[in-house]
Amino acid sequence: MAAVSMLGPREAGKFIASLAKDVSIRPDGVMKTARVIADAVKSGQLDMEAFKQNEVLPLGRGLTQGQLANWVFLIDSLNFNFWTPDGQPKYSVTHEGKETSALSHLSAPHLPSQTRTGYLAMVAAVNRALDEGQPMCDPTHYATLTLQDLTHIFRSDTPSQMPLLEKRFEVLQEISGILKEKFGGSFEGVLTRAENSAVKLVEIVTESFPCFRDVASFEGRPVAFYKRAQILAADLWMLYRGQAPGGFTDMGELTMFADYRVPQSLAYLGALEYSDALLQRLKEQYVFSSGDREEVEIRGCSIEATERIVEAARSLLQAEGGGDVTSIKVDFFLWDYRVKHAAKVDSIPYHRVRCIYY
Catalytic residue IDs: 259
Residues 54, 112, 345, 33, CA torsion sign = negative
The vertex-81 CA angle with 222 and 8, nearest 5°, equals 25
What is residue 22's three-state secondary structure?
A: coil
Using CA atoms of 229, 127, 82, 303 in order, give the dihedral in degrees to the nearest 10.
-30
Q: Does the N-terminal peptide bond of residue 222 adopt cis geometry, omega within 30 degrees of 0?
A: no
User: What is the rounded CA–CA span in Å between residue 237 and residue 125?
Assistant: 22
Torsion angles phi and psi, residue 238, rounded to 5: -65, -45
Torsion angles phi and psi, residue 224, rounded to 5: -110, 140
What letter does residue 258 receive in the DSSP assignment? Answer: -
* Closest-CA residue to 259 (of 36, 79, 26): 79
In DSSP terms, which residues pair with 95 in a beta bridge?
Answer: 114
Residue type, 33: T
Report CA 12 to chain centroid distance, whole Å: 18
DSSP assignment of 134-172 equals --TT-HHHHTS--HHHHHHHT--SSS-PPTTHHHHHHHH
User: What is the rounded CA–CA span in Å between residue 131 and residue 124?
Assistant: 10
In DSSP terms, which residues pair with 86 in a beta bridge?
Answer: none
What is residue 272's three-state secondary structure?
A: strand
What is residue 18's three-state secondary structure?
A: helix
